Amino acid sequence: MRVDVRDLCARIHRTPILTDVSLCIEAGELFGLVGPNGSGKSTLMRCFAGLRRPSAGRILADGADLARMPGRARARRIALVEQQADTTDRLTVREAVELGRVPYLSPLRGWGAADAAAVADALAAVEMTGFATRHWHTLSGGERQRVHIARALAQSPDLLLLDEPTNHLDIRHQLSLMALVRDLPVTRVVALHDLNQAMICDRIGVLHQGRLVAAAPPDEVLDEGVLARVFGVAGTSHLDHDGSRRLCFSHAL
């Protein structure tokens, strides 16, 4: 899905959170959103997901205004993986993933073969098929996050939003989750804290105090100037032996 953001503003209790954000995300792209705490990443993600109405400006999803899209139609095209969504319900993994089919079901239209197939495909895509009958509360943090992604994929979305999906995961699960996200064949927008993880994105957008200060491939954006100005750290960018770029941080400025 091609996403067009035009002069987007958002405010919470009259405090501006996002100011004049304009951005275009191409179909099939892996777009990273980075920025320090409170820079507006989560708010922008919530605007993308339709959970927050912008106070000004528009978001166009393949040319259609998101604000005018009914909830069910939106949920069939845009799926959100929240930071830490937990439940006290005794759900199985399959039941949690089946929630992704809610936008396709109505009170009178029951569960069908297409729904079962979508759930099976989603579980396979995150390599959790063998976990289908496990209970949610027995899963580790990394497994839970994979189930959330499977639930989002079961919505058969054209745009997948992930809000800091690697938060609170150990390093192995962080890397395997980012590898999974990198290979998904759908337009993705990922809010990230770890700048080195953002290096695998096709392009990244840097948010600073509610404004988008850059949107370009990570190699071009994350230089010493941006690290100092936006993130407030002294850091350098190195070329790794495999040709990828690595960031090293020395101290807070």
Q: Is residue 156 part of the contact set for another protein (CB under 8 A)?
A: no
- Of the pair 96, 199, the CB lying nearest another protein is at 96
Specify the amino acid at residue 248.
Answer: C
72 touching another protein, by CB under 8 A:
yes
- Scanning 22-30, 104-112, 123-131, 186-194 for contacts with another protein by CB under 8 A, the matching segment is 104-112
Q: Which CB, 85 or 248, lies closer to another protein?
A: 85
CB-based contacts of 106: which residues, under 8 Å, 6+ apart?
A: none
Q: Please list, in sequence order, all residues whose beta carbon lies within 8 angstroms of the beta carbon of residue 124, skipping any fewer than 6 positions away.
A: none
If one asks whether residue 142 binds another protein (CB under 8 A), the answer comes out as no
The alpha carbon of 127 is separated from its chain's Cα centroid by a whole number of angstroms, namely: 19
- Check: CB of residue 231 under 8 Å from CB of residue 61: no
Q: What is the nearest approach in angstroms of another protein to the Cβ of residue 129?
A: 11
Is 133:93 a contact under the CB 8 Å cutoff? yes
Where does this chain touch another protein (CB under 8 A) — which range of 31-39, 56-64, 91-99, 166-174? 91-99
d(CA 97, CA 29): 24
Q: Which residues bind another protein (CB under 8 A)?
A: 12-13, 42, 46, 49-52, 70-76, 78-80, 82, 85-91, 95-96, 99-100, 102-103, 105-107, 137, 155
